[in-house]
Structure 1
Amino acid sequence: MAHIATTADLRESGLSSREIHRACTPAGPWQHLLPGVVLTKPSPPTRLDRLRAVQSFAGPSSIITGADALARQGARLPLPRHVHVLAGSNARRSHPWLLLERTTRLPPAVHRDGLRLAPPARATMDLARREQNPHAIVALLDAVVDARLCTPGDLQEELRLCSRRGTALVRKVLRHLYPTRDEP
């Protein structure tokens, strides 16, 4: 059962703003996770609760990418403090534990656990483009390929399609790990 609700949904279900506020006080059973997003259980939020809250906050077309998308699809990766989200170019919401990337190229969503996730090749490139350590990029690419989430060819194709910003090191590592047949 999902324990995440927007305050708009709670008001639509018949609760008043005052009742919602009272339930979210320190003595109440609920808590605000993000502006306009409430966790409707007294226990601390799980990572899944946080991911669902981020999607409620970022909007219905938002897609979780990066480490969280890959981990939800089977890769074994450390999770950062922030959640990386793709949203349309008109998205304007922000929060300290949300890395909101505006894009004109939203990928088709992979649906898992009630979440909209980026496909593995896209999530990998979104994460790798922000990494400055070549050893971390090698570990990331190996983790994704070893988990059979995508092939080196899928990664090379995504790299061809994605923004070139931040890809020089990723291109170099990908060429080194998985040289194409026409390369020496």
Structure 2
Amino acid sequence: MAHIATTADLRHSGFSPRQIRHACTPTGPWQQLLPGVVLTRPTPPTRLDRLRAVQSFTGPASVITGADALLRQGATLPLPRHVHVLAGGNSRRTHPWILLERTTRPPDPVVRDGLRLAPPARAAVDLARREPNPRAVVALLDAVVDARLCTPGELREELLVCSRRGTALVRQALRHLYPT
């Protein structure tokens, strides 16, 4: 059962704004995770709860990318501080623990646990483009290929169509790991 609801959905289900606010007080049974997004149980949110909240907050066209997308698809990586989300160019909703990246090239999402995730090659390149440490980029690409989430060829294809911003280290690491 999903425990994430928007305040609009709760109002549609018959809760008044006052009831929702009261339920989200420190002594209430619910928690407001993001503006307009509620966890309808008193326990601390899991990472999956946070990811579902982010997608409710950023809208139905948003796609989770980066480490969270790779972790949900089977990679072994450190848990990121931010949730990296791809959204259309007109999206403006953001929050301190959301890294919102506007894109004109949204991926066809992979759906897992009710989440819309970027395909592995896209998620890996999105994550690697933001990594300043060359060794970390090599480790990331190696982890994704070792987990059989994508091939070096798929990573190269993604690099051909993605923004060139931040890809120099990614291209260098890919050439180092998997020379053609």
Shorter-normalised TM range: over 0.9
2:155 corresponds to 1:155 = yes
1:79 is displaced (CA, Å) by: 1.2
1:96 is displaced (CA, Å) by: 0.2
Matches of 2:172 and 2:145, distance apart in 1: 17
TM-score (norm: length of structure 1): 0.97
2:32 corresponds to 1:67 = no
Matches of 1:10 and 1:152, distance apart in 2: 45
1:176 is displaced (CA, Å) by: 1.1
1:176: which partner in 2?
176
Matches of 2:144 and 2:36, distance apart in 1: 34
Query: How do 1:1-184 residues align onto structure 2 when only pairs under 5 Å count?
Result: 1-180=1-180
Structure 2 residues not aligned, in runs of 5+: none
Q: SS of the residue aligned with 2:164?
A: coil
1:179 is displaced (CA, Å) by: 1.2
- Between the two proteins, the alignment pairs up a number of residues equal to 180
Partner amino acid, structure 2, of 1:59: G
1:84 is displaced (CA, Å) by: 0.1
1:3-46 deviations in whole A, cap 9, x for unaligned? 00000000011100000000000110000000000000010000
1:74 is displaced (CA, Å) by: 0.1
Partner amino acid, structure 2, of 1:148: R
Partner amino acid, structure 1, of 2:119: P
Partner amino acid, structure 2, of 1:143: A
Matches of 2:27 and 2:143, distance apart in 1: 43
Partner amino acid, structure 2, of 1:50: R
Partner amino acid, structure 1, of 2:147: A
Matches of 2:177 and 2:156, distance apart in 1: 11
Structure 1 stretches of 4+ moved >6 Å: none
Matches of 2:95 and 2:56, distance apart in 1: 13
Matches of 1:114 and 1:34, distance apart in 2: 19
Partner amino acid, structure 2, of 1:4: I
Matches of 2:114 and 2:11, distance apart in 1: 22
TM-score (norm: length of structure 2): 0.99
Identity %: 81
Structure 1 residues not aligned, in runs of 5+: none
Matches of 1:111 and 1:170, distance apart in 2: 26
Partner amino acid, structure 2, of 1:24: C
